[in-house]
Amino acid sequence: MHLLELGGRDDAFAAYEATSAATGVRRIAPGLAVANAVVPERARGLAYTHRASELVGRTDADLEAARTLLEAAPIDREGSVAVRAADVRGSTGISTSEAERTLGGVLVDRGFSVDLEEPDHVLRVAFSEGVLDVGADEEVTDGRGDLLEPAEGAGGESAGERVSVCALGWLEAESVRDFGTRAPTDKPFFQPGSMDPMLARAVANLACARPGRTLLDPMCGTGGVLVEAGLVGADVVGTDAQEKMALGARENLAHYLERDDPSPTGVPRGSWAVGRGDATRLPLKDGAVDGVVFDAPYGRQSKIETHRLEDLVAGALAETRRVADRAVVVADRSWAAPAMEAGWELEATFERRVHRSLTRYVLVLE
């Protein structure tokens, strides 16, 4: 069993993204989830999961209970250790420095040496309290599309109840937090309406971006999604109706994906190709790609070439259905009805509030 420390404010979305790197993901407390198995190299590329650890055990959010748990836990490791504690979202008020001292003391008593700079093993300790708001109708599925049960809290609480959790785990993988270096305004080519790199990474992951897979963004704009998909190893293909965008996306992709330095996520960067094209008439064979992501124009922000917005989205949904079995659509409204008319099944939907006048809808289609 593994512990996932989630980031951001939307745990349902974070846990869902984590299913691209883990199986059997269940939320156990605000900001925390557990999983049956984790692929560490994929976890390093997650946007909304900060860490994955091999779960030692979990108890209530109480330092004495955590101490007892660690004293009794089997540990088949050798070498130096460091304990790093977190009070998730400040929800418990527990002193993390006291937790680190106390639990470090337990490990010293068990024969380990402490090395805070370069430990052989890091013990993560996460305290979290609050309402576990896994909706009864929330459908979280794993990478194979199997429906996951709503999570149970430490004491077996059902959805919507208050939970109090302390989870202990040996750190296995940390996601690479370099998204700030790819802010849309810092890219070689910038246009208003570009997607934030964290959301771009998450939707790329949801569309199965990984080495050996090919991902298409048929309305690629500045190439924000393609850059993030390429950085986790997917081969990427983009089209945009505007010549200016296709040229700009090429500039961005060359800048981020054609480099000699090692890739930050540890997997080689994917190849890329971008051309000018109409998303409703893609120059691709049936089933040519593994996944599609598109960020539909918001009407007021993006120039819509030749189509009414409804026709553009309906046409793009039909074309993406022809070329792929999986798609993620991001938009300022839910396009669920036209997606189903185009033959897609709705695997999940999320609403992410960006600011007062913009909510982004994320539809995951199979």
Ligand X SMILES: C[S@@+](CC[C@H](N)C(=O)[O-])C[C@H]1O[C@@H](n2cnc3c(N)ncnc32)[C@H](O)[C@@H]1O
What are the CA-CA distances from residue 309 to residues 6, 91, 302, 334, 352 (Å)?
A: 35, 44, 10, 13, 21
Which residue, 6 or 313, is less far from ligand X as judged by CB? 313
Q: How many residues bind ligand X (CB under 6 A)?
A: 25
Q: β-pairing, 140-141 with 291-295?
A: unpaired
User: In sequence order, what DSSP letters do the residues of 93-136 get, joined into one string?
Assistant: ---HHHHHHHHHHHHHHTTPEE-SSS-SEEEEEEEEEEE----T
Q: β-pairing, 272-276 with 235-240?
A: parallel
The correct pick among 59, 128, 222, 320 for binding ligand X (CB under 6 A) is: 222
The correct pick among 132, 232, 279, 289 for binding ligand X (CB under 6 A) is: 279
241 near ligand X (CB under 6 A): yes
Q: Is 211 within 8 Å of 247 (Cβ atoms)?
A: no
The correct pick among 169, 221, 230, 238 for binding ligand X (CB under 6 A) is: 221
Least distance from ligand X to the Cβ atom of residue 280, Å:
6
Among the candidate windows 6-14, 16-24, 110-118, 239-247, which touches ligand X by CB under 6 A? 239-247
The correct pick among 245, 329, 348, 363 for binding ligand X (CB under 6 A) is: 245
Least distance from ligand X to the Cβ atom of residue 254, Å:
16
Best CA proximity match to 219, nearest among 200, 193, 241: 241
Residue whose tokens read 């999570």 = 151
Least distance from ligand X to the Cβ atom of residue 278, Å:
5
Burial label, 304 (beta-carbon count in 10 A; 0-12, 13-18, 19+): middle
Least distance from ligand X to the Cβ atom of residue 213, Å:
19
Least distance from ligand X to the Cβ atom of residue 264, Å:
20
Q: Give the rounded distance of the alpha carbon of 172 from its chain centre.
A: 17
Q: Who's near 213: CB < 8 A, 6+ residues apart?
A: 234, 235, 290, 291
Site mask for ligand X (CB under 6 A), range 291-330, x = bound = ----x-x----xxxx-x----x------------------
Enter the tokens of residue 284: 């691709």
Which residue, 50 or 360, is less far from ligand X as judged by CB? 360
Helix, strand or coil for residue 17? Answer: helix
Looking at residues 176 to 215 of the shown chain, list those that interact with ligand X (rule: CB under 6 A): 193-195
Which stretches of the chain bind ligand X, using CB under 6 A? 193-195, 218-219, 221-222, 224-225, 239-242, 245, 278-280, 295, 297, 302-305, 307, 312
